Structure 1
Amino acid sequence: MVAATLMSVDTAVKPAGCTNLKLRQLMRRVAQLYDAEVGKTGLRGTQYSLLSYVAKLGPVRPVDLARAMKVDASTLTRNLRPLVDAGWLAMAPGPDARSRLVSVTPAGREKRTEAQRRWRVAQESLNQRLGATRVVALHALLDECQDLLADLPEGEADA
């Protein structure tokens, strides 16, 4: 369905406007919806994502976590600090003297569970506003675009 629509658009019109701007505007609106709901737990949406990644992958080296989340190391370090300070994540020595491991604390697991419930409310709200069919099509289009841009060097993809 999405591919057929894209084929007709590709041959019929030339895109107008800045794709980067349009995506950023949409992302801000979507983030506002999630942040408003997840924020009721004291977390921002990005913090909930980070907590969830660590819960899924941890204990994990920061470099591996950054790679999995597709963020650079300095962004990850900056985003880890408030969660460590709140006692939801812990940093511990890794297998060698130079490495560290990030893991979720019991309080962090509780906070993630609380935030996950609020995230579901936000997701259902988005599904209702956009329509489930449109959300499924959007996910498919985004995944396809991610695959098509996968060969960009990491610095260019993050910019």
Structure 2
Amino acid sequence: MSKPAVSTDQTLFVRDHCLCLAAQRAARSLSRRFDEAFRSLGLTSGQFSLLNALNRPQPPSVGSVAQLLAMDRTTLTANLKPLERGGLVRPEADPDDRRVRRLVLTEEGRDRLASAMPIWIAVHGEIDAGLIDAGVLRSGLAALR
């Protein structure tokens, strides 16, 4: 017995109303825009976000960074590898619990983040200026977490 086909009207409705699809498309578009802006620094938008997440007074644990960035630990570890190879991040064992890994932003990592921040501010300002109400958008996205 064959399953009923999904109608073209249903497909178009999903295309025009699916919040998940809209969020994915917007995220890819934003990532491409920031990737291009950070290219001269040898960073991607994801790497910028990761460096920014590590910029704390005390080195954060892998678990806390994964939670902040809504990533599983395996994905976070894979994303850290290029930053480690580039000398921007260094993992260290926690002095109080050797099972916990802390992520240290190196001096070079801090410098790269400092170089990227004015770029982020400029591009983010352009994007915000083009939105009708960026605050409402941020609130709506935060409500989905």
The answer, yes or no, to whether TM exceeds 0.5 is yes
Instruction: State the 1:20 CA deviation.
Output: 1.6
Partner of 2:92: 92
Contact 1:37 1:121 in 2 (8 A): no
**Residue 71 of structure 1: aligned partner:** 71
8 Å contact from structure 1 (residues 39, 45) kept in 2 = no
The answer as to whether partners of 1:37 and 1:122 remain within 8 angstroms in 2 is yes
- What runs of 5+ residues in structure 1 fail to find an aligned partner? 1-15, 147-159
Confirm or deny: 8 A CA contact 1:58 1:102 kept in the other structure.
no
SS in 1 for 2:60: coil
Match of 2:106 in 1: 105
* Structural RMSD (CA): 1.6
TM-score by length of 1: 0.74
Q: Percentage identity across aligned positions? A: 26
- State the partner residue of 1:115: 116
**Could you report, residue by residue, the CA deviation over 1:93-119 in whole angstroms, capped at 9, with x for unpaired residues?**
222332322111111100000111111
Q: Please state how far the C-alpha of 1:54 moved relative to its aligned partner.
A: 0.8
Higher helix share: 1
1:57 shift after superposition? 6.2
**Greater gyration radius:** 2
Aligned AA (1:111): R
Deviating 4+ runs (over 6 angstroms): none
Whole-angstrom distance in 2 between the partners of 1:58 and 1:40: 29
**Which structure is richer in relative contact order (CA contacts within 8 A, separation 6 or more)?**
1
Give me the TM-score of the superposition, normalised by structure 2: 0.80
